[in-house]
Amino acid sequence: METLRLVLLVFHMLAWAFVIGAWASRLRTPVPIAKGVWHAAATALVTGILLVGVREMDDLPVDHTKIGVKLVVALAVTVLAVVATRKGDRAPVWMAHAVGGLAVLNVFIAVLWR
């Protein structure tokens, strides 16, 4: 079970890294969201849920308040990314910034919430 948890964790971190990296790479030019960001956001969301499930199957403690906050933020990132992707070039730039900023917020919550 530990191997599964570690593999999920790697995919989870890589997905958030893609979301944040795609946003950071477009900070200087006001362009819409990068293609593939919603796939990465959805991957981060699903792997995060699976990580909680694996942790609960091992009867390890889970901070449900922290997980709930992270879930809401991840859902917001995913929904905004999907909407921005569907709008294409017509998507407002603030959507891309919201996706990136909320992804960074989710990382801060994961690391700093104790």
Q: Which residues contact 75 (CB under 8 A, 6 or more apart)?
A: 45
Q: Answer for the pair 37, 19: CB distance below 8 angstroms, yes or no.
A: yes
Q: What tokens were used for 41? A: 């956001």
Is residue 30 scored above 80 in pLDDT? no
Q: For 44-98, what is each residue's pLDDT tens digit?
A: 999 999 999 999 999 999 999 999 999 999 999 999 999 999 998 899 989 999 9
**Residue 97 to residue 95: CA distance in whole angstroms:** 5
**Residue 18 to residue 42: CA distance in whole angstroms:** 11
pTM: 0.93
Q: What is the CA radius of gyration of the chain?
A: 15
